[in-house]
Amino acid sequence: MTLSYLGDMKFKPEVLIVDDDRAVIDSLSSLYKDNGYVPSGALTGNTALELASGDRFDLIILDIGLPDIDGVEVLKMLKAQKITAPVIIISGQATIKNAIDATRLGAFNIIEKPPDPEKLLIDSGIAIKQKSMELELAGLRRSLLSQNELVGQSSVIWSLKEKLKRVADTDSRVYILGEPGAGKEMAARFIHYSSPRMTGPFMAVNCAAIPGELFESELFGHERGAFTGAVERQTGKLESADGGTLFLDEVGELKPGHQAKLLRAIETSAIQRLGSSRDIRIDVRIISASNKDLQQLTRERKFREDLYFRLNVIPVFVPPLRDRPDDIPLLARHFLDDLGYGRLRIEPGGISRLEAYHWPGNVRELKNIIERTAALSYGDIITEQEIADALSDMQGGRDYSRQGPIPNKLSLREHITRYERNLLQDILLDCEGNITKAANMLKMDRGNLSKKLKSYGLTGK
């Protein structure tokens, strides 16, 4: 009897038939062989476990009534050994309890004995195709995750990755805190590509980069004619992210009206395009991020408290680069390879310079330094001097490096005071004298910063 149910499979699947009756094994072996399979047989549970231990089979046909080990126990042992082959149970006592126990333990299906040949072959083909798709999905997951990996081996980055993996298994909303350039979007991507949503879209929106009058259209979409210039329908980011993840960066910049509409979308899992009154159902995981203190903004009534609590279900902090200098060599190597400069290496002295730098711009600044020095470097080596010059140029001649000669007549307190004053002066300059902005960057109270600036004879606005 020949019934082809292998579809377009380009290989001959190996099937293990486990039954205490040699006649059953011979009969099923003939059926499978005639339909493009490579069959093997086992008369006992122990023999089956031994044969299957290398995970060489694409399918296992397992009888419940075996002479040495119950078939359900064999199934448990196969799963405990991480055997990936799908298992179809056949039984002369195909009771409801057996079916429930077997399927609960991971059996693909249970078929009453003697099995109908056509049904058995159909189920076999489906089971093998499902396994193939699962392996393909696992490979895709590994590929996508490797492209969105958080580079580093320091204890802080390992702790972060472990937390993100646990978060990824849930569908909870995540709020990511961290300084500009620390890698908040990479953390969001890591969550997405580690989650069951990894095959869905990942959409990123910088709330600070979109003009206020265009934000609603960008997030919710619009219908044709909804406003002047709306010549065609546009799908918004929330709708485009359906089945996946929406990353809202700088969410603290949202205007009050936009906050209210985002809150409604979260609470109802539905949006309305501009110019339409029709609800569109969405299934989107929202990950938000900010370098501002949203809790402080809620106290100042600049951010809705109810929205803050909706977004901040699981808070995650991405550490600044200066807190993980051990990761700098790995990051530098990663950026060289990623930018197409795999032939280049950095002198040990140059690595030391990078490790000693304060990195106010975090990982983003490191990537800029690596790209600049790689593009301008001669030969196959980036020298220490080239690194030092790039670091100095990046800060307009300022250098936060801890390298260089240290005056030996100053106390530790004097060294710290001098360093703190220089750092505050530089940050105040970067913020154009705006004390509030500088306080946000430094994660400190504005009043305390004003007092500290005054003690150093520095002024702001």
pLDDT at 407 over 60: no
pLDDT at 414 over 90: no
Q: Report the percentage of the chain scoring pLDDT > 90.
A: 46
* Domain boundaries defined on the chain: 14-140, 149-317, 325-394, 412-455
Question: For residue 106, what pLDDT is reported?
Answer: 84
Name the band, by pLDDT with cuts 50, 70 and 90, for residue 405. very low
Give the pLDDT mean for 63-81: 88
Give the pLDDT mean for 65-87: 88
Question: For residue 247, what pLDDT is reported?
Answer: 96
Stretch among 18-32, 167-181, 210-224, 423-437 having the lowest mean pLDDT: 423-437
Question: For residue 1, what pLDDT is reported?
Answer: 45
Question: For residue 95, what pLDDT is reported?
Answer: 53
pLDDT digits (tens, 9 = 90+) for 143-183: 665 666 788 889 999 999 999 999 999 999 999 999 989 99
Give the pLDDT mean for 137-141: 66
Separation of alpha carbons 414 and 449, rounded Å: 19
pLDDT at 340 over 60: yes
Separation of alpha carbons 138 and 117, rounded Å: 32
8-state DSSP, 274: B
H or E element, residue 16: strand 14-18
Tell whether domain 325-394 is in CATH 1.10.8.60: yes
Identity at 223, one-letter amino acid code: E
pLDDT at 410 over 90: no
pLDDT at 94 over 60: no
pLDDT at 100 over 80: no
pLDDT at 348 over 60: yes
181: left (phi over 0), alpha (psi -120 to 50) or beta: left
pLDDT at 138 over 70: no
Separation of alpha carbons 136 and 131, rounded Å: 9
pLDDT at 367 over 90: yes
Question: For residue 449, what pLDDT is reported?
Answer: 82
Question: For residue 32, what pLDDT is reported?
Answer: 93
Separation of alpha carbons 248 and 315, rounded Å: 14
Domain 149-317, CATH: 3.40.50.300
Name the band, by pLDDT with cuts 50, 70 and 90, for residue 427. confident
**Which residues, 6+ apart, have CB-to-CB distance to 285 below 8 Å?**
171, 173, 192, 195, 197, 244, 245, 246
pLDDT at 79 over 50: yes
Report which of 357, 437, 425 is spatially closest to residue 390, judged by C-alpha positions: 357
Q: Is the peptide bond before 196 cis (omega within 30 degrees of 0)?
A: no
pLDDT digits (tens, 9 = 90+) for 108-119: 888 888 888 999
Tokens read off for 108: 């693909």
Partners of residue 40 on adjacent β-strands: 16
Is pTM beyond 0.75 here?
Answer: no
Tell whether domain 412-455 is in CATH 1.10.10: yes
Residue 138, Cβ density class (10 Å: 0-12 exposed, 13-18 middle, ≥19 buried): exposed
Strands (E), 97-161: 109-112
Name the band, by pLDDT with cuts 50, 70 and 90, for residue 70. confident
3-state secondary structure of 245: strand
pLDDT at 198 over 50: yes
Q: Which residue has the higher pLDDT, 14 or 7?
A: 14
Stretch among 15-24, 226-235, 296-305, 306-315 having the lowest mean pLDDT: 226-235
pLDDT at 332 over 80: yes
Q: Which residue has the higher pLDDT, 210 or 262?
A: 262
pLDDT at 399 over 60: no
Q: Do domains 14-140 and 325-394 have the same CATH topology?
A: no
Question: For residue 409, what pLDDT is reported?
Answer: 47
Question: For residue 403, what pLDDT is reported?
Answer: 42
Tell whether domain 14-140 is in CATH 3.30.110.40: no
Question: For residue 192, what pLDDT is reported?
Answer: 93
DSSP string, 376-410: H--TTEE-HHHHHHHHHHHTTT----S-S---TTS
Query: Dihedral (C-alpha) 10, 12, 16, 22: value to the nearest 10 degrees?
Result: 140
Q: Which residue has the higher pLDDT, 392 or 312?
A: 312
H or E element, residue 217: helix 212-220
Question: For residue 408, what pLDDT is reported?
Answer: 44
Question: For residue 397, what pLDDT is reported?
Answer: 47
Q: Which residue has the higher pLDDT, 304 or 404?
A: 304
Question: For residue 451, what pLDDT is reported?
Answer: 79
Residue 427, Cβ density class (10 Å: 0-12 exposed, 13-18 middle, ≥19 buried): middle
pLDDT digits (tens, 9 = 90+) for 272-283: 998 888 999 999
End-to-end CA distance of the chain: 89
Separation of alpha carbons 213 and 199, rounded Å: 32
